[in-house]
Structure 1
């Protein structure tokens, strides 16, 4: 008898592709998140004072830009049934690296490159421990979260570096000419296209879903599971390092406590966007919508005078409901698939 909670990957795929194309495109978890984002925007525009201001758009996109950037590789990692909890600490370590080198007189361009390289090295460390040593990514990245944060705080202590070149800080805060959209969105769009093509239009991307569904089967089908996951952790560290450079320029300071708690916002957005924490499922457009949904809710509530604590509670409730609803829908579809399979056998 087929277990309701362990339906095979091929069975799930056949059930999904048995639906009409329009249903597969619209009636999905990602479509629901996009629809919810549109609804929240409409409600905020009609009920929240100043939400329609260009400044609101600018500050909203600036605030979520680091989360959007880091969510790209995080999506790929979670699809393979792994996780990287160290991303916020890597942002801080990158920021501190930029700050110390700038303070000590290094060319700022070199300091920025070093910040990105530090992130890449952090990704190499995580990837090595997970794929070569064979440790669980949850345990590894909890440990590296503490280690990278400790190094960041230890290097600067309670000090902060705030003296950065004006042309670079102005660029980080600048908008695309004639629009309220920050310039950083150009870099994000380019990275989103790259990650989107890799995930949804290449054999490498298909291998990520295969690994998430069944890593043993993926291995026997010829996929180098260890190398694939290693690449993802390096990509996560590199993008987090880049986000750390942007974070430093946007807020004009380098401190060991920068980006504290950001990893939770990233993971919340990825899960809200339809990526399964159990691996094997997810789409990048849903994740982007998830990040924007959380950011839009927070922005609207702040403009409405809601305190930060209440906003955190509401965000947490939304995340819990999204995970519970995803689990329920998965169970419901598996139950229907099993019932249809039994009905077919009986008819035969």
Structure 2
């Protein structure tokens, strides 16, 4: 007979208020289900730490994406295609570096692709009107930092949500790009500039922008994982109020991260313009979807406080390989966006599911250890208790 306090689910097709309730599962089935869950959780605990990490799952997904690409096109595994694949990822890769820091700090920047487009337009406009290319690039980088400063001030000084602020500046900066350039385009940049965009390191097929990305990735990785500032960024994302009480300058650090994000987005705009030798207002339109997906799929917690750059790099490769493979198979950009959107959903659900499984497995392991210790203590105390009971019976007689 079941416990009266047990809450039973409603029968299929009936609401919770229906007098007819579905019968609960037999006790044997419930025990089997709990036993299977317990077995899987114990197996998860016994796995080495690196096998239980989100990065390991990302590596498996990357291998699956590579297998898919080799199946869809015989050209996929060629060295020249991998060079093109890497080159196509570079602007998103650069923006993902600073986006990682911002999301770990508990914020987000949706305006990065619009800053890229505005930077590309201003670079083309100023150069076509006589400004030396070096000065035009410097002006564009300052413009990107200014855009990031606007975002950062609105978030840290006005206390506005970064999602709302950067969604607004996404439209603002893209609109400014159209005001400056309209539907026109600037091209015919100097060969020395465009060679950096699509040229390769002499004697190799490694694109020059990839070298830039590796340098920045190492710098940001050291900053995040090996510096006091990096530890403060994690602390801010975990609990900003506790970070304030600990003496961390929360607002100043967030402001710095937004400025860095704008600066790197403008740098990505320079790379994009050099690679395509074209400055247009619609450059990098929609790139923010891929950048956010890369960061979240890389295991960065959308609420802040956790994440790593190695996971983001693996995620970057997965997105790049997937888009390249689908493109070689003549699959439309709309279908590619659907695939990226599905990965975005996975990127939010996946790490949370893995984290909860790990926590549940750890709790169960700790509970089983506690029960084992308790049983051992009980076994040692049994003879004394039995002797006491015997003496009590003899006394009563």
Same fold per TM (> 0.5)?
yes
Q: CA deviation at 1:233?
A: 0.5
Q: CA deviation at 1:336?
A: 3.9
SS of equivalent to 1:237: helix
1:94 corresponds in structure 2 to 119
1:137 corresponds in structure 2 to 162
Match of 2:313 among 275, 278, 288: 288
Cα distance in structure 2, aligned partners of 1:322 and 1:189: 24
Moved more, 225-234 or 296-305: 296-305
Match of 2:338 among 302, 313, 325: 313
1:126 corresponds in structure 2 to 151
Q: CA deviation at 1:160?
A: 0.9
Unaligned runs of 5+ in 2: 1-44, 375-397
SS of equivalent to 2:229: helix
Unaligned runs of 5+ in 1: 1-18
Contact in 1 for aligned 2:114/2:173 (Cα 8 Å): yes
Instruction: Flag the structure with larger Rg.
Output: 2
Contact in 2 for aligned 1:129/1:135 (Cα 8 Å): yes
Match of 2:288 among 250, 253, 263: 263
Q: CA deviation at 1:171?
A: 2.1
1:235 matches 2:260: yes
1:116 corresponds in structure 2 to 141
1:12-66 Cα offsets, whole Å, 9 max, x none, are: xxxxxxx79x933343112221232133224433552101222211211111000
1:270-294 Cα offsets, whole Å, 9 max, x none, are: 1111111011111101101111111
Moved more, 326-335 or 187-196: 326-335
Cα distance in structure 2, aligned partners of 1:171 and 1:178: 15
Q: CA deviation at 1:321?
A: 2.2
2:224 corresponds in structure 1 to 199
Contact in 1 for aligned 2:115/2:144 (Cα 8 Å): yes
Q: Which has the higher contact order (CA 8 A, sep 6+)?
A: 1
Q: CA deviation at 1:239?
A: 0.3
Contact in 1 for aligned 2:142/2:263 (Cα 8 Å): yes
1:291-322 Cα offsets, whole Å, 9 max, x none, are: 11111011112212322222221222222123
1:197-247 Cα offsets, whole Å, 9 max, x none, are: 000111111111111111111111111111111111011000001000111
2:59 corresponds in structure 1 to 34
1:209 corresponds in structure 2 to 234
Mapping of 1:147-158 within 5 angstroms?
147-158=172-183
1:103 corresponds in structure 2 to 128
Contact in 1 for aligned 2:197/2:276 (Cα 8 Å): no
Contact in 1 for aligned 2:293/2:347 (Cα 8 Å): no
Contact in 2 for aligned 1:75/1:284 (Cα 8 Å): yes
1:123-159 Cα offsets, whole Å, 9 max, x none, are: 1111111111211111110111111111111111111
Mapping of 1:5-16 within 5 angstroms?
none
2:109 corresponds in structure 1 to 84
1:11 corresponds in structure 2 to none
SS of equivalent to 1:280: coil
1:178 matches 2:203: yes
2:245 corresponds in structure 1 to 220
Match of 2:70 among 30, 45, 52: 45
Match of 2:353 among 312, 320, 328: 328
Moved more, 22-31 or 77-86: 22-31
Contact in 1 for aligned 2:290/2:340 (Cα 8 Å): no
Matched residues, number: 329
Match of 1:249 among 250, 253, 274: 274
1:15 corresponds in structure 2 to none
Cα distance in structure 2, aligned partners of 1:343 and 1:55: 55
Cα distance in structure 2, aligned partners of 1:34 and 1:318: 15
Cα distance in structure 2, aligned partners of 1:341 and 1:133: 46
SS of equivalent to 1:83: coil
When the two chains are superposed, the root-mean-square deviation of aligned CA atoms in Å is 1.9
Cα distance in structure 1, aligned partners of 2:49 and 2:144: 37
Q: CA deviation at 1:344?
A: 7.2
SS of equivalent to 2:279: coil
